[in-house]
Structure 1
């Protein structure tokens, strides 16, 4: 009877030991990863929904702009010779068959000035969209075409059927009159249906090259207004290409085959300015082409208008620290329990853990209707207040409850700082975790882990 009592007492002491409690709390923390993953799935789902809405709006308003032109197009006659044998006389003769082909010439100088203004009024539901209106001005001149280099005889050229071609990815979002001035002669553009799936094609009225080119150069200028989204890019087809972009967007990403001029580039909270100057020696394609206009997308350059970190990215980054918050909060409660000998039931740990997870559902729901900063403050205050009041009742000690509230405030502030940082996020995070580890080691140094 005495042995059975000792065995029962020993069994109870094992499950009441600090080791068993720590293992149970650790297991609970792992279990809470399940609802935390559900919250992360919710954030991803909302983020995907935003992308769908943004793509839908971009389809209606206007997509990315990629501009390719203007290009001088001159038709010529091409002759093919065939051997034709008469079946009766068995005599073979040579016949010539003509067809119309085209030669394309890029400009000697191509200048562009673009003013890009964001549109903040286009909102679908709770989602904002990165859309803009681009006012683009072009000018420059074409040099004298060198047909000898292309092995085309002058008598085969159809000088009176010359035209100007412009290719762009965004025909339907052009919002201005389509015309071009060539040596002060105004020509209208018309859209052409072609097999090119990348670009839409605009071609001017036909003109007589000799009549228009009284000098060796044909000067041009024209304007276009676009509705676009996300990015605006150009192809440097001029022998000398100059592009200047001004915008009220404060978070540009300059990308493409050529970098903007560092000496004139500027980015402020009010917007940005960028200049490019590209010479023919900077890229490896010719100024004249036969039969078709080449695909030169690899030489595109320009600017992408971005949201540096949108609300869903910030929420996703915050949720990645969820397990750290749960683990450190449980650790604080466990240390208080071990030092003060106050009993905390596993159910009470569960309630605290669920309250910590509720922080992320509050954060994502409030963020969709306000800023991330305001949502973080509201969700943080709500959860910290709830856990602090709950701690007061279960610990029966205002001092411990106040310490928990301060510790949670410091932890959420620390995580918010990390989320906002970009270049120094890893450094600050590592230093912070090192400091937390040191604090845990300090407060746990006198705990007797062998006691019940």
Structure 2
């Protein structure tokens, strides 16, 4: 009887059991999600600030380039019937002669563009990647068919024909604008446009009948732009051929029409891409009257952006914050349970806050260096701090060294996942599976009944 009483007195309370300690550590992990979310908010705020600065720099240097042309514009007389009310409220009809325009797309449209990355523009802490583009255009216009538009050829004003080009980024054009029409040169002038986001360049007037050669007008011109983000075209030729060469290493081909796979090349020196779009590939006409339609939905081209910028990398790293905290606490808990060394919940809290500080160090150092260097410095600082703190807690060097190696392996594993794109999920799943296996192996030594 006396022995039973003694055993009951020696039995530890629930709050001293491994189960209770595990619950407390788990609750602490959840609590540390609060500062971790604050860090994620800081990353988002800094990222938004960079986007604002990027937009400001793009506005000054040159934004994305969208090209829609060249288009042959020929005016014609049209007669409109209007109703007129005189002073005696008598209604009469009158015929009014007005001038309208008919628009014709090219038969052949060829473009060759060379895009070169320019020196990054720096604004405060932020650098914005921009480019210069040289675009060469050539092709021809066939004899306009006014019958398809139900326009009387006798009402056509052939001597006032022009060629127009719609493009964004007019202020960033860096070349004299002249177009060769059957070996005669005509200057472009800018004019107002009711189409949103596009500016209009219109050539000097010419006499179509005098200029034409075998019912064709061959054209050729070059444009140089400062730009950023993307270069896109609308395939208005019956046959449209576009070729792009660039020293950009990570392009994103985009738009309604896919590039020819057999001619596409992307390597460490840049990329080459080609498109061929036929009239049958796109559902719009070759001629219009009165106005040129908005065909933005048929844009295609290339987007030139950094695949993963520093804030995206920081954001991806912070998403693994809960995993790092949880696994680090698990290592300490296993050491505590196996070695019977008591670790106070306050000490767990200090370790957790040190792990959260990794992300504030990471983003602050990244803004002044590369992400890789910032990650290395922040990881070393946090690992050294936790190892030194562990030595004072565990009173030996064996377990702290094991913790240091574990954290090094964990941070290295996460860095590899962040750098990967296509295989991030695969490598992450295999790594987590291996970690789970290790935890299962070491946890078998724990007496869960104590």
TM-score tier by shorter-chain length is over 0.9
Please state how far the C-alpha of 1:11 moved relative to its aligned partner.
9.6
SS in 2 for 1:438: helix
Segment drifting more, 276-285 vs 425-434? 425-434
Instruction: Determine if contact 1:256/1:302 at 8 Å carries over to the other structure.
Output: yes
Instruction: Determine if contact 2:111/2:241 at 8 Å carries over to the other structure.
Output: yes
For 1:380-391, list aligned pairs within 5 A.
380-391=379-390
2:250 paired residue number: 251
1:58 pairs with 2:58: yes
Change in CA separation of 1:94 and 1:419 when aligned onto 2, cut-off 3 Å: closer
1:43 paired residue number: 43
Please state how far the C-alpha of 1:161 moved relative to its aligned partner.
0.7
**Superposition RMSD on alpha carbons, in Å?**
2.2
Please state how far the C-alpha of 1:389 moved relative to its aligned partner.
1.4
Please state how far the C-alpha of 1:87 moved relative to its aligned partner.
10
2:218 paired residue number: 219
1:163-187 Cα distance to aligned partner (Å, 9 max, x none): 1111011111111112111111111
Please state how far the C-alpha of 1:384 moved relative to its aligned partner.
0.9
2:34 paired residue number: 34
After TM superposition, where is structure 1 displaced by more than 3 Å over at least 4 residues in a row? 5-12, 81-88, 92-95
Please state how far the C-alpha of 1:8 moved relative to its aligned partner.
11
Could you state the TM-score of these two structures normalised by the residue count of structure 1? 0.94
Distance 1:401 1:32 in 2: 22
Distance 2:274 2:449 in 1: 71
Change in CA separation of 1:125 and 1:297 when aligned onto 2, cut-off 3 Å: same
For 1:197-276, list aligned pairs within 5 A.
197-276=196-275
Please state how far the C-alpha of 1:83 moved relative to its aligned partner.
7.6
1:399 paired residue number: 398
Distance 1:145 1:298 in 2: 26
SS in 1 for 2:294: coil
Q: Which runs of 5+ in 1 are unaligned?
A: none
1:70 paired residue number: 70
Instruction: Determine if contact 1:120/1:128 at 8 Å carries over to the other structure.
Output: no
Change in CA separation of 1:406 and 1:84 when aligned onto 2, cut-off 3 Å: closer
2:435 paired residue number: 436
2:306 paired residue number: 307
For 1:53-202, list aligned pairs within 5 A.
53-81=53-81, 95-202=94-201
Instruction: Determine if contact 2:248/2:269 at 8 Å carries over to the other structure.
Output: yes
Segment drifting more, 48-57 vs 339-348? 339-348
Distance 1:84 1:24 in 2: 89
1:196-228 Cα distance to aligned partner (Å, 9 max, x none): 223111111111111111421111111111111
1:34-53 Cα distance to aligned partner (Å, 9 max, x none): 11111111111111111001
Instruction: Determine if contact 2:108/2:238 at 8 Å carries over to the other structure.
Output: yes
Distance 2:86 2:406 in 1: 102
SS in 1 for 2:146: coil
Please state how far the C-alpha of 1:263 moved relative to its aligned partner.
0.8
Could you state the TM-score of these two structures normalised by the residue count of structure 2? 0.95
Please state how far the C-alpha of 1:151 moved relative to its aligned partner.
1.9
Distance 1:221 1:170 in 2: 21
Q: Which runs of 5+ in 2 are unaligned?
A: none
SS in 2 for 1:149: helix
Instruction: Determine if contact 1:169/1:199 at 8 Å carries over to the other structure.
Output: yes
2:330 paired residue number: 331
Instruction: Determine if contact 1:84/1:95 at 8 Å carries over to the other structure.
Output: yes
1:263-322 Cα distance to aligned partner (Å, 9 max, x none): 111011111111111111111111111110011111111000021111111111111111
Distance 1:163 1:419 in 2: 54
Please state how far the C-alpha of 1:85 moved relative to its aligned partner.
10
1:25 paired residue number: 25
